[in-house]
């Protein structure tokens, strides 16, 4: 197999749409780009070559975080408070982000689990406000100055599902399905109150952005590259969430089917329609109306996604739904919610599903209790 050289990558990136002076926020997989001469370092250099001396590259320096009992980098807390993080702790995002992290002169934003690394003259401006962001995708994260600069989101060998900033408006608007918030660590377990469409159906979301017409695609190495202008993606998120604030979570489509793909397909179609018919300026967008948490504590056992009552000591054995056994110590689980950060270690279904959050669920409000049905 032919080895791909730095100049070839640089030329491909320019053809894809990288411009001189660009700020690029990149997600990439080295293994999907083929045999690159010089490996991950060459990919980083090629992006910087394509953007020129005034360009800046942002790469994720995310760490293992919550699921491995590490809600902070081990060399992080003693160094704070600082505007930027001096931590050398490696990223779990792969070879390319770690190559960017190892470069002389790079800067790292201040966040315990989801820091970003910047290489280039605009890095300090892009990263400095992240230390004040209440969540890793919330107000103050590097996506905001990226949008102001009309930089780009760059995917190399991966799909748009890897773009972290799908969560931006969820965090800023504090939508009811946001997830479990860890205030001290400024972290959110996003999927605990709703499985996200981009993670459950990544190819579908690739088709959505493709159908909307703002994804540029082309070969990079032996893989596929994608480029989206940040301001356009910002407007797209504002558009689809203004049209349907629940569009990014998948729920049962009716009273009988637990097939989340039906809901995903309907929402995907609606996203494309909203973008083509009534796009919204993200800079002027306002939080949409959402269902209040009516019936807090309600459990919809009639929902197709209801996965039963479970005790941690018997994680895979649901209690009878007829009430013949006491429910003390048991928790209701929902197949449309992902695992909960405080419960997944019990194993069994606790490591597959999340606890019910019916009061905030659009299914609960769309399909209210039927007449003569117990509430």
pLDDT digits (tens, 9 = 90+) for 184-201: 778 888 898 999 999 999
Please state the rounded mean pLDDT for residues 340-358: 90
- What is residue 311's predicted lDDT score, i.e. its pLDDT? 86
Q: Is the pLDDT reported for residue 293 higher than 70? A: no
**Nearest-angstrom CA–CA distance, 284 and 235:** 9
DSSP bridge partners of 223: 220
Question: In the predicted model, what is the mean pLDDT of the chain?
Answer: 90
- What is residue 313's predicted lDDT score, i.e. its pLDDT? 75
**Nearest-angstrom CA–CA distance, 34 and 53:** 27
First to last CA, the chain: 64
Please state the rounded mean pLDDT for residues 168-181: 90
pLDDT higher at 372 or 18: 18
DSSP bridge partners of 310: 331
- What is residue 211's predicted lDDT score, i.e. its pLDDT? 98
Confidence label for 111 from pLDDT (cuts 50, 70 and 90):
confident
- What is residue 246's predicted lDDT score, i.e. its pLDDT? 95
- What is residue 20's predicted lDDT score, i.e. its pLDDT? 97
Confidence label for 292 from pLDDT (cuts 50, 70 and 90):
low
- What is residue 181's predicted lDDT score, i.e. its pLDDT? 86
What pTM was computed for the model? 0.92
- What is residue 369's predicted lDDT score, i.e. its pLDDT? 85
CB-CB neighbours of 135 under 10 Å: 26
Each domain of the chain, given as residue ranges in start order, spans 6-178+212-229, 306-366
Confidence label for 129 from pLDDT (cuts 50, 70 and 90):
very high
pLDDT higher at 67 or 82: 82
Least trusted range by pLDDT, from 181-190, 232-241, 274-283, 301-310: 181-190
**Nearest-angstrom CA–CA distance, 159 and 237:** 17
Angle subtended by helix axes 202-212 and 260-277, to nearest 10? 20
pLDDT higher at 225 or 322: 225
For residue 229, what are its two tokens?
């202008």
Least trusted range by pLDDT, from 128-142, 147-161, 309-323: 309-323
- What is residue 243's predicted lDDT score, i.e. its pLDDT? 96
Q: Is the pLDDT reported for residue 67 higher than 80? A: no
180-182 and 56-60 beta bridge pairing: unpaired
- What is residue 184's predicted lDDT score, i.e. its pLDDT? 79
For residue 199, what are its two tokens?
């993670």
What confidence tens digit (pLDDT) does each residue in 259-285 have?
999 999 999 999 999 999 999 999 999
Tell me the three state secondary structure of residue 156: strand
What confidence tens digit (pLDDT) does each residue in 28-66 have?
999 999 999 999 999 999 999 999 999 999 999 988 666
Dihedral class, residue 312 (left if φ above 0, else alpha if ψ from -120 to 50, else beta)? alpha
Containing 84, the helix (H) or strand (E) segment is none
What confidence tens digit (pLDDT) does each residue in 89-107 have?
888 888 999 999 999 999 9
For 188-204, the DSSP string reads EEGGGGS-BHHHHSHHH
Q: Is the pLDDT reported for residue 18 higher than 70? A: yes
Q: Is the pLDDT reported for residue 370 higher than 90? A: no
Please state the rounded mean pLDDT for residues 158-167: 95
Q: How far is CA 234 from CA 28, 229, 284, in A?
A: 20, 9, 11
Q: Is the pLDDT reported for residue 212 higher than 70? A: yes
């Amino acid at each position: 197999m032919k080895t791909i050289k730095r100049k070839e990558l640089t030329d491909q990136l320019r053809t894809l749409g990288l411009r001189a002076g660009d700020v690029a926020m990149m997600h990439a997989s080295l293994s999907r780009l083929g045999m690159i001469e010089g490996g991950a370092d060459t990919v980083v250099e090629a992006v910087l070559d394509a953007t020129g001396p005034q360009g800046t590259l942002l790469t994720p320096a995310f760490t293992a975080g919550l699921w491995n009992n590490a809600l902070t980098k081990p060399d992080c807390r003693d160094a704070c408070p600082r505007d930027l993080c001096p931590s050398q702790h490696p990223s779990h995002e792969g070879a390319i982000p770690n190559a960017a992290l190892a470069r002389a002169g790079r800067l790292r934003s201040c966040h315990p689990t989801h820091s970003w690394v910047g290489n280039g003259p605009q890095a300090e401006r892009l990263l400095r406000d992240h230390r004040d962001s209440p969540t890793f995708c919330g107000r103050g994260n590097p996506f905001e100055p990226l949008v102001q600069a009309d930089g780009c989101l760059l995917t190399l060998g991966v799909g748009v599902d890897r773009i972290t900033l799908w969560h931006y408006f969820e965090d800023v608007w504090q939508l009811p399905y946001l997830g479990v918030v860890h205030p001290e660590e400024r972290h959110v377990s996003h999927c605990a109150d709703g499985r996200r469409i981009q993670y459950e159906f990544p190819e579908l979301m690739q088709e959505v952005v493709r159908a909307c017409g703002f994804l540029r695609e082309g070969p990079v190495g032996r893989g596929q590259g994608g480029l989206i202008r940040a301001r356009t993606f910002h407007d797209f998120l504002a558009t689809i969430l203004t049209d349907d604030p629940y569009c990014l979570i998948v729920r049962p489509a009716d009273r009988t089917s637990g097939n989340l793909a039906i809901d995903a397909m309907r929402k995907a179609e609606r996203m494309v329609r909203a973008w083509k018919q009534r796009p919204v300026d993200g800079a002027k967008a306002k939080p949409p109306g959402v269902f209040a948490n009516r019936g807090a504590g309600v459990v919809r056992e009639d929902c197709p996604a209801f996965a039963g009552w479970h005790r941690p000591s018997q994680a895979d054995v649901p209690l009878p739904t007829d009430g013949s056994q006491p429910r003390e110590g048991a928790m209701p689980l929902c197949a449309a919610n992902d695992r909960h950060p405080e419960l997944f270690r019990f194993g069994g279904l606790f490591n597959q599903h999340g606890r019910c959050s019916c009061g905030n669920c659009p299914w609960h409000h769309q399909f209210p209790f039927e007449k003569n049905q117990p509430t």
